[in-house]
Chain A
Amino acid sequence: MADFKTKPDELYKSIDHTPPKAGWMDVPAQFRPGNWCYPAKPEVLDYIGFPNGRKWSPADEDWKLPENWKDIIHQGFRERLEKFRSLKIFMDVCVRCGACADKCHYFIGSGDPKNMPVLRAELLRSVYRKDFTTAGKILGKLNGARVLEEDVLKEWFLYFYQCTECRRCSLFCPYGIDTAEITMMARELLNLVGCNINWIQEPVANCQRTGNHLGIQPHAFKDIVDFMVDDIEEVTGKRIHVPMNEKGHEILFITPSGDVFADPGIYTFMGYLMLFDAIGLDYTMSTYASEGGNFGLFTDNVVAKKLNAKMYAEAKRLGVKWILGGECGHMWRVINQYMDTFNGPPDFLQMPKSPITGTVFKNAASTKMVHITEFTADLIKHRKLKLDPSRNDHFTVTFHDSCNPARGMGLLEEPRYVIKNVCNNFYEMPAQTIREQTFCCAGGAGLGTDEFMDMRMRGGLPRGNALRYVRDKYGVNRMACICAIDRATLVPLADYWANGVDISGIHELVGNALILDGEKEREVDLRQEPLPGKEG
C-alpha cells in the first residue's frame, strides 16, 4: 500500500510569497495592469508640440526610445538644475532620515518601498549623483549613485506616475524636500524622450484648443449650461440667466470644466449659478477660458503657463474688474503659487472687492483672483444669504481637504465655515487625516484615469479608511470637497472603501440651502432626490 504520509509543511512551500531581499537598485520595475496609465497618443503629442511621440506600451520590453535618449535626459537634467534651485537643493540635502517614509498614501496602501517618498526621490537622485557630483562619480554605488540605464528610466516612468504631487511628505520633511517638485522635474525629463501618459496630454491638447479638458465646443458648452438652468428651474421653479462671453461685467467666473460635464460636479455648478442669482452678481462666464483646472501643471511648467494665460487674456478682453475662481484643487495651487509669476501681475484688473459686502480681498491684491469659498464665507459672515440648512438634513457631512488647497495654499477654515452654515450635521474625520495632514484621493496630478483604478484604490485606502470610520461612528453619508478631481475620483473610492457615502462640492450644499427670491417650495434637492420630510 502506498504511503501517503506527508510532512506538515510540504504542502505549503508553494505558497511562500516572502519577497526577495535584494537592495532597491536591483529590483526592476514591475508593470502590471492597474499600476500604470496608458501612454500618450502620438497625434496628441504632435499637436501640443512634444517630441518623440510614438506608439508604445510600458508593458513592452522595447520602449522605442530615441537613439540618443541618454544625452537628451542628461542635457535636460543639467538645464533644470540651473533653472530650479528646488531641484538642486532637494538632490543634495536629503539625509534619508525616513520621516517621510510612511507619509505617502500609495506606500501606506501598497507597501511597495519605492512608493516611499525618500526612495521615489532616490530614483532621480542616484542618477544625479553619478552625472553631476564628484563623490558619486568616484564612489559610485557606495555613494548611492548609478548609471542611467533603460531599466532606470522605466522605474522613473512607473513611480513618477505613481505620485499625485500631494506634498504630504513635504510637510514632514525637516528640509522641506517636496516630492511634488521632484516628480514635476522627472515628468519633464520623461517628456523629452516621449514617455508620458494620455490622460494628461490629451486634456492639455483639448484645453489648448477648446478651453476645456474634454474638447467640448463653445455652442455645446452653452447647451450644457442651459440644461443645468433647466434643472435648476425644475427644482426651484425659477429660471436663471447665465451670462456667457459677455463684455462689460464686473467679474469673470472660472471653474474647472469637470463641474460642467461630470456627475456629481454638475450639482456644484448649479450651486454656483444659484448663488450668483441670489445675490444679483454682475458676472460672466467664458467658453474660451472655461477650464479652471490646469493639466499643464502635471506635465510641464511652460505648458502650465500657456494654459493659465487664457484666464488673464480673457479677463482683459471682456473688461472685467477681477476674477472669481470655482472649487478646484490644483487649479488653486496654480493660482495661488504660480499664476502671478507665470502671467502677472495683471495691471488691467482692480483690487477684488465683494460688490455685496464691500469686503476687499487683500490676500489677492496682486493676482486679483478670489476663491469662491472665500467669497461665500464673506457673504455668510455678513448675513447676505438667506439659508435653510435643514434642507441638507438628510446629509451627515464630513469634509475632505483637497491636497493642493491644504498644502499649497492653506484654505482650511473658509470651506468649513461655509459647510457649517449650510448643513446642520457636520463631523470631522480624525485629525491625522485632515487639514494640512490630509490624505490624497489618489487620483490627482493626472492619475485619475480608469485604467489606474487598482492603484487608485490602494492609494485611496487611508482616505477611505478615515471616511469609513466617520460613516460608522456618526452616520456620515456625504463627503464634501473643493476639487473637481476629487469629485470624480472620490466616488469610486467611497464606493469601494466606505460604501454608502456620496461625494459633493460645497456649493451643491449651498445651493440646497439657499433660498432664492421667488422660488417655489422645494420638494427635492439638486440631485432631484426628495428633501427630508417630503419623501413619498
Chain B
Amino acid sequence: MDLAQRLVEERTELATKWLDLLLQTYPEQTQKLWRRNKDPFTNPVGQTFRQALSELLDLVLDWSDAEAVSEALDKIVRIRAVQDFSPSQALSFVYLLKRLVRERYWRELEKAGALNQLWNFETRLDNLALMAFDVYTKCREQVYEMRVSEVKHAQHKLLLRAKMIVDIPAGKAEEAG
C-alpha cells in the first residue's frame, strides 16, 4: 500500500477526525457548541479550527510551502496560546494527528512490511511540531510585549511631561553641520 496516496484519498475524513480530537481537549459542554455553530463570527474558535485544520492537513500532505504551513499553524496556535493550557497542552494537537495516522494505518503497513512509510510521514509531523513551537513562542512573546507597551501607551503624555522621553518632531531631522 502507498501511505501518501491513502492519506490524500482519505483527507476529508482525517480532517474531521483530527478536528474531533482537537475539540476533545475542551470541556464536553463546549465541544458540541463549537462543533455545531457554523457562524464564523459567533463561533470563531470552532470555525477557525475547522477551516485551519483542513488547510493545514493539505499543506502537510503537500509539504512544499513552509510559510503557508506556518500561517495555518498560526491560526490555531494563536488561539490556544491564550487559552487555559500549559504549553505542552496547547501544542498537543499536532501529536493528535500523529496518533490518528498511527492508529489508522499501523497494522496495515506492518502487514505490508511498509512501516518505513509511516516513519517518514511522522518525521514530517515532528517537524510540524517544532514549527508550532516557534509560533507558540512568538504568540507568547507578543502577549508580554503588549503588556509592556500598554503601560507605556497609557502614560505616554506623562512620560513626556516628566521629560523622560521626547517626541520626534515632524519632518526630516536636521543634519549636524
Which residues of A pack against B, CB within 8 Å? 8-9, 11-12, 15, 17-19, 21, 30, 32, 34-35, 101-102, 108-113, 214, 216, 220, 223-224, 227-228, 231, 234-235, 258, 260-264, 266, 430, 432-433, 450-451, 453-455, 457-458, 461-462, 464-466, 469, 488, 491-492, 495-497, 523-524, 528
Contacts and interface: CB of A to CB of B under 8 A. Distances in A.
Nearest to A110: B83
Contacts of A524: 170
A102 to B, nearest CB: 6
B30 A111 contact: yes
Nearest to A224: B157
A9 B103 contact: yes
B160 to A, nearest CB: 6
B83 A111 contact: yes
Q: Quick one: which of A30, A113, A457 has the most chain B CB within 10 A?
A: A457
A8 B155 contact: no
Given A113-B30, A234-B169, A108 B99 contact: no
8 contacts: A12-B96, A17-B24, A17-B92, A258-B154, A264-B153, A453-B143, A488-B153, A496-B143
A451 B149 CA distance: 13
A235 B167 CA distance: 14
Interface in B24-47: 24-30, 33-34, 37, 39-45
A21 B143 contact: no
Contacts of A469: 40-41
Nearest to B107: A8
B137 to A, nearest CB: 15
A262 B154 contact: yes
B79 A461 contact: yes
Nearest to A103: B42
Given A12-B98, A234-B170, A496-B143, A430 B92 contact: no
A45 B65 CA distance: 57
A112 B82 CA distance: 13
A270 B99 CA distance: 58
A229 to B, nearest CB: 12
Given A18-B24, A462-B42, A465-B48, A263 B99 contact: no
Interface string B157-177: 110110000010110000000
A262 B156 contact: yes
Given A17-B92, A227-B160, A433-B42, 5 more contacts: A15-B96, A430-B41, A453-B147, A464-B44, A523-B170
Given A8-B106, A9-B99, A101-B33, A19 B26 contact: yes
Contacts of A110: 83-84
B78 interface: yes
B109 to A, nearest CB: 11
Nearest to A220: B161
Contact of A19 (B27, B79, B92, B160): B27
A227 B84 contact: no
A432 to B, nearest CB: 5
Contacts of A450: 146-148, 150-151
A30 to B, nearest CB: 7
Nearest to A461: B44
A450 B152 CA distance: 11
Q: Quick one: which of A12, A109, A497 has the most chain B CB within 10 A?
A: A12
A261 B154 CA distance: 6
Given A432-B42, A488-B153, A17 B89 contact: yes
A488 B84 contact: no
B11 interface: no
B95 interface: yes
Contacts of B161: 220, 223-224, 227
Contacts, number: 160
A30 B84 contact: yes
Which bucket holds chain B's interface residue count? 35 or more
B116 interface: no
Contacts of B16: none
Given A15-B92, A453-B147, A457-B82, A8 B102 contact: yes
- Sort A-B residue pairs by CB-CB distance and give the 3 closest, nearest first: A465-B44, A492-B146, A111-B30
A261 B45 contact: no
A266 B157 contact: yes
Contacts of A19: 25-28
B144 to A, nearest CB: 8
A454 B154 contact: no
Nearest to A119: B29
A465 B78 CA distance: 12
A264 B150 CA distance: 11
Contacts of B29: 113
B27 A453 contact: no
B142 interface: yes
A532 to B, nearest CB: 16
B95 A15 contact: yes
A263 B156 CA distance: 6
B43 A108 contact: yes
B45 to A, nearest CB: 7
Contact of A102 (B33, B103, B148): B33
B76 to A, nearest CB: 12
B25 to A, nearest CB: 4
B48 to A, nearest CB: 7
Contacts of B149: 492
B45 A109 contact: yes
Contact of A111 (B27, B102, B151): B27
B85 to A, nearest CB: 8
Contact of B84 (A112, A220, A235, A430): A112
B143 A454 contact: yes
A20 to B, nearest CB: 9
A64 B143 CA distance: 32
Nearest to B90: A17
A370 B99 CA distance: 62
Contacts of A495: 142, 146
